[in-house]
Every structure is written in structure tokens, then in C-alpha cells.
Structure 1
Amino acid sequence: MKRLWRRELWRLAALVAAGALVGWPFAAVGSGIAVGLALYLFHHLRQLHALHDWLTHRPNQEPPTTIGLWGELFDRLYRYQKSQHLTQRRLRTTLQRIQESSEAMRDSVVMLDSHGDLEWWNSAAETMLGLKPRLDRGQHITNLLRDPRFVNYFHAKDYREPLTLASPIDESRILQFQITLYGDDERLVMARDITRLHRLEQMRRDFVANVSHELRTPLTVLTGYLETYGDMADQLPSRLARGLSQMQAQTERMQNLVNDLLLLSRLETDQGGGDHAPLTLPPLLERVRRDAEALSGGHQRIEVEVTEPRRLAGSEQEIHSALSNLAFNAVRYAGEGRHIVLRWRPAGAGACLEVQDDGEGIDPLHIPRLTERFYRVDKGRSTATGGTGLGLAIVKHVLLRHDARLEIISRPGQGATFRCVFPAERLQTATASDTAQRA
């Protein structure tokens, strides 16, 4: 390219010199130079006109043939144009394949621009969401999906968890929405039909609730007779007395399991919120501490620490249940001689309830599954301690009903911390009576 520029400069110099030589005999050197420059300018204007004509009227044809700097420019533009055409064909082919594959999907796929307006969707979205190709393109997504839960989910931009809603055109169809951010604040909305899964889950919940409820009556009868026989234990043979104590222990364990199943079923089906009120946490923590000490039998040191003065808006029964499950788990699994702390402390703008122990800890491999029903890290040990395997599942659902989350921090040999983190919206300033009660 530098060689071409040097040639162009030499050509300009030659024209100027030739014009000067032609005008010198006539004492018109300046006019000769002007004519030379005019010829040079005319050449470039002609080439510029050829470039404009090519790009405007014949962009897909080969460029005009010329030499020098303009010839190199034409060649470079032509090669760039060919590469752009090839890239565009590849992009169109890729886009077409993406659209064809999206059309083949059973799930709804909706593409939104940075403003949340509809750009493109597949045919499944028309069936599930009722989108119309000619009428809805360019509409904002919340103009078509007006459920307040979807509107809040869309604007919150926290898409880590999917949202489950009924279809806007068929309430019997249950959809699971998942939004993904990409590009320049653009969104991809996917909706999956989970009606069958939803019905199966509802059947499971109904079955567990009904069976648990039906088990209550025979268990109550068994417990009554076993208590009666227990009062007469001194009149029974020693072999029967030992069997009686085992039956009482197992009946009590089954009652605890039934009670936990019924509580979990209620937490899953009932929306809750009717009994929410401002709670003063120190007295609640103290009650749980006393219950945990009774379960421990003095084999562990259990303390309460309160550094958060605000009250928590929630259900006292449910918060007590969640905190009791965490404290009792610490008592059962931390080991003898361990130190357990129940805390109510600030956590960022919100606050958290913590149950911390310095016990054996938990392998991080198990932590993601701890809130599953009946999941046990050590099945034999858990059975021996009398746990039902439902405690952390209950804690999880209680926190969901209080806009909170459960954090579990633990490593083998380093103890465990179970943290219930509540948002600032759930906290209220303590009154004077609360402060006095805490003191």
C-alpha cells in the first residue's frame, strides 16, 4: 500500500512538472501547474463517480477495472463485500436453523428486545400463551401476560428460579416460566407445560395428607392402650415389659412422623399469611433453647445470642417449628460435649436466625440435598436418633412462606451453621416494651 501511495505522489509531481514545463515558454507556469492539478482532480473525480455507480447500481457485479491506488481500493472493497455476503449467508442459515429447531420444540420460546417487546416466538407459544403473529408483534410482554406474579417476576430480573402459573388462555394448563437475559438487556422467555407433573405432585400431596390423617386414629388408639399397659408394667412378665417399652418408643416415633407429614402437607398447600404478626425473637429463642436442653439431657452447652433489636413479621407457630427443627438437629448430630448457639443477628439490610454448632460437620457433597424429604447423610445414625427426615424440608417451606432463604455452611470437622436469612421488608422496629423484655 505504501508503494501505491508513493506512485500516486510521483504521478501528482509529474503532472505538476509537466504543466509547469508546458506553461514556461508562454510565461504561464502557474496556469500550467493549475491545468496539471485540474487533470489530476478530474481523474480522481472520475474514479469516485465509478465507485459510486458501482456501489449504487451494480453492487453484486465485479468492480470497474482501473490501476493504481483506485484499483487497489476497488479490489479491497470487492473482497470485503464478498466476505460480508458469505458471512450474511452463514448467519441467515444459522438463524433459519435456530428458528426451525425452535419451531420443533414443544416448549414455548419467545424472544424480547431490550424494552420487553415481542420480536419472535415459535408456534408452541401461540398454543400455550395465545400469541397472534399479526397483532402481538411489538407488544410489551406484560400487556399479554398480565398476571401480577409474572409482572413482578419479569421486572425483578432475578431469574434463578422458574415461575409456575396457569396458562393465560387455559387455566387447566399449568406452565413453568423461565427467563434468560442475553445480549443488550434482551430476554428469552421459555414456557414449559408441566400440567401432568403438577397433577402428579398434587396427587402425591393428597395421598400423603390422607394417609397421614387416617393413621392418626389407629396410632391414638395404640398409644392409649400402651399407656394403660405401661401403668400395669409391674404386673407383666419382664419379657413383655421390655417389648412394651419398645412399642411405646416406636409408636411415639410414628406419631412424630405423621405429625411432620401433616405439617409439611399444610405448608405446601396452604398459602399462609393469616397469622402473621410482629414477633419478638428473644423469648422465642429462649423457649427453643429450653426444649433443646431437655432433649440434650445436659450433654451439650446451648446458648442464645441476640444482637438484632428489630422484630420479625411472621407466623410464630411456623418460625418456632423451623427453629426447633434446626436446634433439635444440632442436638442430635453435633455430638456430646458440643457447644450450640441460637442467634438472632443483622445480615446486610435484613436479619437472620442462626443455629451454629462445633460438631463433626457435614460433607459439602450432601448439602444441596439436605432439604429433600427423608434424605439422610447417615441413615443408621439418623434412625437411632429418632429423626423423621422431614425437619429441613419443613424449614425450607416455612422460609419460603416468609420470603426467606436457608443457607447451610459446613465442612467435616468444622461444625455446621444453618442460617435463615429474612429480607428487610420482614423486619419492624422494636417497641419500648420489647426492649425492656429483651433486657
Structure 2
Amino acid sequence: MRYWINELWRLGYMLFGLGAIGLLLGELGHNLLAGLGWGLAAGLGLYVFLHLRHVRKLYIWLLKNPREAPPPGTGVWGDLFDRLYSYQKAQTQLQGRLRDILRRIQDSCEAMRDSVVMLDSRGDLDWWNSAAGDMLGLQADHDRGQPITNFLRDPRFIAYFESGDYREPLLIPSPVQANHSLQFHLTLFGDNERLLMARDVTRLHQLEMMRRDFVANVSHELRTPLTVLAGYLETYSDHAGQLPERWQRGFGQMQAQTTRMQNLVEDLLLLSRLEIDSPNNDRETLDVATLLAGIAADARELSTERHQLTIEAEEPRQLLANTKEIRSAISNLVFNAVRYTPAGSTITLRWKPWHDGAAIEVEDDGDGFDPIHIPRLTERFYRVDKGRSAATGGTGLGLAIVKHVLLRHEATLEIVSRPGLGARFRCVFPASRLAAAPARPTSVSPDTPA
């Protein structure tokens, strides 16, 4: 503020001085008013001239090199030059630091073995590191500005890129080396820009395939000896009365453990098939209400009237799915509820609308469990209560089977539970997996002509 006051004082001094000179000249010419007017005009003209002179200095300084020291100035112009120069120095230093940070980021990305690709808001290539050039076949000379989908043409990647849902990575073959597997992960940032990261997971993929093959082969090889063993144990049990009492107890335990091993082998084989085989007959029209009624009947036999099972079918539409796989998944959820809830609990099976799609829910009012277990419940052999699970004869693979069945049907599993408040398992199916409800047959009167 003081600079503007000083500037006003400067203007006042000029007007006063030149006005006084004008009065003196006017007195000599016997015309005081004319002399005063010419004096004030001269003062304003001088003031404007000085400002225009400083504007010219500013223009020449900015035109040549604003990083050099500013020209000398008087009054408010001197302060303005100093402030502009200080601001310019600060901006230059800030830009230098930003360039250093960007250089370090680029150097660190260049040092990475994983591919890093920056895409603009339209999905065009903006920048990438050397690993991306080798892994994806990108060339800096003429590929910059091209859409990423011109280089990654796999329909799965295009669908993943356009979906906007990047919570899970995508595994597809390499576009450069067909025998390599790449894992892609997209991240949104800025103004709808994307950061694409790709990792070569060929070795991990091969190890996973070896694990699957090993489990499938071992399970298949175990099936025959277990069947033979179970057959002989059943034959011996038919003549249990002829055996000593201590042997009878041993045969009973062997039968129970053999049955448990057979169940485990069957679940492992089912999991292997779900992981390896392509979906087959997964668009059958399924009446979910009828399916739930059949599962509830089986669950009542398992429960032996210790639980109350109810069915709520609010969704009229039918499900397009593989009937056998869906029955297996829902049966696992219901049988788990029977095994792990105390006697007297109520187990509810629901088929209801859910957002744009529909959901099958299995809910109980049993003991529930801590939510800390929910992220790991679908892992193989993970148990909330190992002692109780062993006592019920479960294999620890039920929820893993449910997860894989739902993945094959584009569905998701949502789990909600609190200690003492029961548990709810919700299988959510998209609208694309639903079919219109069947038309109800209309009754025709015998008197109505055909």
C-alpha cells in the first residue's frame, strides 16, 4: 500500500512543480489559468512518459531473457521489477526440482524389470520404459500417440481396458512371445489418464499349472485304492459281529476316515476340473426356487430335524447356469450352515432381486464368526475353527469350490458375519445371467371351442 501512496506523492510533486512553473509563465504572459493548465498538462505528460518508459524496459526485459537481472526502475516500477525477478527465480528453482524429480522417476522406471506405460485420457501411448518396449514390442520412433489397443489386441484385454474396473489384474499371453504369460494391471490417475503395468509371470503360471496337474493326478490316483479299501472295509463291517470288540471299533474308525478321504479326493478333483476345464453347458435355464427346495430337503436329512430351514423366493426370473455346478455351490453353503450352526438355529435360503441382477442368499442365525476371517474364507483348507471343522468331517474346500463356480458364472460371493449374529453368504449374479420367468399356463374351459 505504501508504494501506491509514494506514487501518488510523486504525481503530486510533479503536478505541483510544473503547475508552479506554469503559473509563473502565465503571470509573465498575464494569463494565470492558461499557464496553470499548461503546467498541469506537462506534469501529467511527464508522468505518463516515465510510465511508458518503464513499460518499454519491462517488455524488452521479458522479451530478451527474464532470467537475467531486471533493469533499474524508480518508484513502484522498481518494486515490480524486483518482485517479478524474485518470482521468476522461485519458479525456475521449482521447475528445476520438478525436472529432477521427473528424471529420478523416469530413471527408477527404467531400472524396473516390469513394464510401465503411461496412457493419456484417450488411451493413447504417452510414455513407457525400456522393459515395456521389449515386453510389448513398443518402439519410441513411431508408436507414441497410438492407442494401446493397437498393440494389445486380445479381446480380454480390450474388455478389461474398456470396463473401467481395474480392481483385479488380467492374465493373458504375451503379444510378442506366445509362450510367455503377462499380468496386466491398470490404475486411473489425473484426468482419466491410466498407468499400465505389466509383469512377466510365466514361471509363476507354469508352477501354478504344475500344481494343478499334480493335485489332479494325485487325486485321481488315490481314488482307486480308496475305493478298494472302502469296499473291503464295508465287507468286513458286514461280519463285524464275528470280530473281537476292540477290532470292531478300529474298523469303524477306518471306515469314517476312508469316507472322509474319499470326500476330500472328490472335492480336489472337482476343484481341478473347475480350474482347468472351460465352462460347459453354463447357459441352461434353471428354476432356482425348485433348486433351493431340493437342496433344503437334502439339508433336512443331514440336520436330522436339529435346524429349521425356510425358503424365500422373491425373484420370478430364472438363472442361466450350469445346473450341476450351481447345485454343488449352493449345497456347500447350506450344508456348511447345517454343520457349523448349533441345534435350533434357523437357516434361510433366498432367491431375490439384487440391483440389476439377482442373488441367492444362505443366511443363518447361529454363532457367526469374526469378520477378520472373511478375506481368507475361500482359500483351500482355511478353517475358522480347526477343531470344530475336523469334528464335522469337512474337507475345507467347500467355499473354494463355491468361489470357482461363481467365477465361471460371472458372479461374486459376498460374506457378512458378526460373532453372535449369524452369517450371510450372498451369491450375486449379473442381469446377463437371468432369463424371463416362464409363462404360467392358462386354464381353458371345457366349453370353450378350440
TM-score range, shorter chain: over 0.9
Q: Distance in 2 between matches of 1:60 and 1:39?
A: 30
Q: Distance in 2 between matches of 1:198 and 1:279?
A: 35
1:304 CA drift (Å): 1.0
Maintained 8 Å contact 2:125/2:147: yes
Correspondence list, 1:86-235, <5 A: 86-235=93-242
What is the alpha-carbon root mean square deviation over aligned residues? 1.6
1:401 maps to a residue whose letter is R
Maintained 8 Å contact 1:112/1:187: yes
Maintained 8 Å contact 2:282/2:409: no
1:109 CA drift (Å): 0.5
Match for residue 243 of structure 1 among 250, 255, 269: 250
Maintained 8 Å contact 2:212/2:272: yes
1:294 aligns with 2:293: no
Correspondence list, 1:248-397, <5 A: 248-397=255-404
1:274 CA drift (Å): 3.0
1:341 maps to a residue whose letter is T
1:167 CA drift (Å): 0.9
Q: Distance in 1 between matches of 2:388 and 2:277?
A: 33
SS of residue matched to 1:169: coil
Following superposition, which runs of at least 4 residues in structure 1 exceed 4 angstroms of deviation? 433-436
Q: Distance in 1 between matches of 2:190 and 2:275?
A: 37
1:166 CA drift (Å): 1.0
2:430 maps to a residue whose letter is P
Maintained 8 Å contact 2:183/2:199: yes
| CA distances 1:101-154 after superposition (whole Å, capped 9, x unpaired) | 111111111111112111111111011111111111111111111111111111
| CA distances 1:308-342 after superposition (whole Å, capped 9, x unpaired) | 11111111111100000000100110111111111
Maintained 8 Å contact 1:280/1:434: no
Q: Distance in 2 between matches of 1:274 and 1:152?
A: 23
Maintained 8 Å contact 2:168/2:185: yes
Which sits farther off after the overlay, 218-227 or 294-303? 218-227
1:236 CA drift (Å): 3.0
Maintained 8 Å contact 1:312/1:427: yes
Maintained 8 Å contact 1:305/1:343: yes
1:303 CA drift (Å): 1.2
Question: Which has the higher Rg, Structure 1 or Structure 2?
Answer: 2
Q: Distance in 2 between matches of 1:88 and 1:275?
A: 58
Q: Distance in 2 between matches of 1:381 and 1:163?
A: 37
Q: Distance in 2 between matches of 1:250 and 1:116?
A: 57
1:193 CA drift (Å): 1.0
Match for residue 48 of structure 1 among 33, 55, 63: 55
Which sits farther off after the overlay, 400-409 or 29-38? 29-38
Maintained 8 Å contact 2:380/2:396: yes
Which sits farther off after the overlay, 425-434 or 314-323? 425-434
Q: Distance in 1 between matches of 2:357 and 2:51?
A: 72
Q: Aligned in 2, Cα 1:275/1:3: closer, same or farther, shift over 3 Å?
A: closer
Which sits farther off after the overlay, 363-372 or 69-78? 363-372
TM-score by length of structure 2 reads 0.94
Residue of structure 1 equivalent to 2:4: 5
Q: Aligned in 2, Cα 1:171/1:23: closer, same or farther, shift over 3 Å?
A: same
Residue of structure 1 equivalent to 2:447: none
Q: Distance in 2 between matches of 1:216 and 1:107?
A: 43
Residue of structure 2 equivalent to 1:77: 84
Match for residue 403 of structure 1 among 410, 415, 427: 410
Which sits farther off after the overlay, 272-281 or 256-265? 272-281
Structure 1 gap segments, 5+ residues each? none
Residue of structure 2 equivalent to 1:65: 72
Correspondence list, 1:16-55, <5 A: 16-24=15-23, 25=26, 26=29, 27=31, 28=34, 29-55=36-62
2:341 maps to a residue whose letter is A
1:235 CA drift (Å): 3.1
Q: Distance in 2 between matches of 1:349 and 1:273?
A: 25
Q: Distance in 2 between matches of 1:97 and 1:426?
A: 49
1:248 maps to a residue whose letter is Q
Which sits farther off after the overlay, 419-428 or 278-287? 419-428
Which sits farther off after the overlay, 175-184 or 23-32? 23-32
Maintained 8 Å contact 1:273/1:314: no
Q: Distance in 2 between matches of 1:275 and 1:424?
A: 15
| CA distances 1:10-44 after superposition (whole Å, capped 9, x unpaired) | 22233333443334405434333322222111111
Q: Distance in 1 between matches of 2:58 and 2:247?
A: 109
Alignment size in residue pairs:
435
Match for residue 425 of structure 1 among 417, 423, 432: 432
Q: Aligned in 2, Cα 1:232/1:205: closer, same or farther, shift over 3 Å?
A: same
Q: Aligned in 2, Cα 1:120/1:11: closer, same or farther, shift over 3 Å?
A: same
Q: Distance in 1 between matches of 2:137 and 2:250?
A: 65
Q: Distance in 2 between matches of 1:307 and 1:402?
A: 21
Q: Distance in 2 between matches of 1:434 and 1:255?
A: 45
Q: Distance in 2 between matches of 1:15 and 1:115?
A: 61
Which sits farther off after the overlay, 200-209 or 229-238? 229-238
Structure 2 gap segments, 5+ residues each? 444-450
SS of residue matched to 1:159: coil
Q: Distance in 2 between matches of 1:238 and 1:106?
A: 67
Which sits farther off after the overlay, 78-87 or 175-184? 175-184
